[in-house]
Chain A
Amino acid sequence: MIAALGAGDTAAAGPKLLEPERAFAFSVQALDERTIEARFAIANGYYLYREKLHFSIEPATLAAMPTLPPGTIKDDEFFGKVATYRGQLAVRLALAQPAPGTNVTVRAESQGCADAGVCYPPQVQNITVKMPLPGRPPEAPIAATPTRKSWFN
């Protein structure tokens, strides 16, 4: 009630925001015995900073640093030209060695903001996937479990 009525035009960031886990929904899918795809589904009106995005895996090691898409260049008053991501982001993580049947934990560190004028602190999310056996189809993507429930739900 108050959220709807009291939102007012003075609320700098609008009447409603998403929890960071929902604004930047992280999921992971093992595509084959040595390839993982990490994805962020970024809600409309939100963006992630490219240079604040880092992936690592355990206990396996990556074949190389993952190639992040170039993103969209934002001309920032303070930071100059910075690359940001909006919408869907997918990053392939190639393991140094095939690891069929083993559990691999993907760790993603990210930081983003809302166009409404607020920024979220850097967040670290972990998702564990089981690498498929050779020739087997990939398992369904696994989404990060939100650690907090929205006050609105």
Chain B
Amino acid sequence: MTTRQVRWALLCAVAGFVALAAGIYAGIDGRDSLTVDMRGKDAAALLGVSLPDTKGKETPLAQWKGKVVVVNFWATWCVPCREEMPEFVVTQRELGGRGVQFVGIAIDQPDKIDAFAAELNLNYPALVGGFGAIELSKTLGNRYGALPFTVIVDRAGRVAHTQLGRLKEPQLRTILTHLL
């Protein structure tokens, strides 16, 4: 084996190890491979968004900078979205005082959002996103543009986690506890 071949073999071995480690880490971390890995990326584009609530009042997300912000893209026509939201209500109630702020961005009509929010006693803002919100979610790694999609932003304003599909409570608690 020439020196060049040895170097090449070593490089491949290192690259393989790094890829394996990344994969294992991703597995341990529970990162959802259905999303583009955005962890550590600046979430300024998301926190810079201002959307109306169901009464038309503009709600800038920037007001929650410094908190752990959980942005959930959802719709009333999305059953898995409806299934996970009661857990978000409980988590908001229990961890809100410690700096967690949930924000729902609905791809839906205001009257439908209001009806479900009332049914759920929703204790966090439900903003009206429209189809533009799907595009916004794609910039945050939602490669399929599907729902539910959740982005967790840390206190420093960086993406800590993205999830396509239901974010189960134990995983949610683990991530939030780590960030608080």
Chain A interfacial positions (CB closer than 8 Å to B):
1-8, 10-17, 19-20, 52, 76-79, 111, 113-114, 116-122, 151
Contact = CB atoms under 8 A, between A and B. Distances in A.
Interface residues of B, number: 38
Give the residue among A52, A78, A114, A116 with the most B Cβ atoms within 10 A. A78
Nearest to A119: B78
B82 interface: yes
Given A19-B144, A113-B79, A118-B146, A13 B164 contact: yes
Identify the 9 closest CB pairs spanning chains A and B, nearest first. A5-B23, A12-B165, A6-B26, A13-B165, A10-B30, A119-B78, A118-B146, A8-B27, A117-B80
Give the residue among B83, B164, B167 with the most A Cβ atoms within 10 A. B164
24 contacts: A1-B23, A2-B22, A2-B26, A3-B33, A5-B26, A6-B22, A7-B27, A8-B31, A10-B27, A10-B32, A11-B33, A12-B163, A12-B166, A12-B167, A13-B146, A13-B164, A17-B146, A17-B164, A20-B144, A20-B145, A77-B79, A118-B147, A120-B146, A121-B146
Contact of B165 (A16, A77, A116, A122): A116
Given A3-B33, A13-B34, A17-B34, A119 B146 contact: yes
Interface string B16-60: 000110111011001111101100000000000000000000000
Contacts of B164: 12-13, 17, 118
A96 to B, nearest CB: 32
Interface in B47-97: 75, 77-83
Contacts of A8: 26-27, 30-31, 33
Contacts, number: 112
Interface of B: 19-20, 22-24, 26-27, 30-34, 36-37, 75, 77-83, 107, 131, 134, 143-148, 163-168, 171
B165 to A, nearest CB: 3
A120 B116 CA distance: 19
A111 B131 CA distance: 14
A2 B80 contact: no
Contact of A119 (B24, B36, B80, B163): B80
B115 to A, nearest CB: 12
Given A1-B22, A11-B34, A119-B78, 20 more contacts: A2-B37, A3-B33, A4-B23, A5-B20, A6-B22, A7-B27, A8-B27, A8-B31, A8-B33, A10-B27, A12-B163, A12-B166, A111-B77, A113-B78, A113-B80, A118-B148, A120-B144, A120-B147, A121-B134, A121-B146
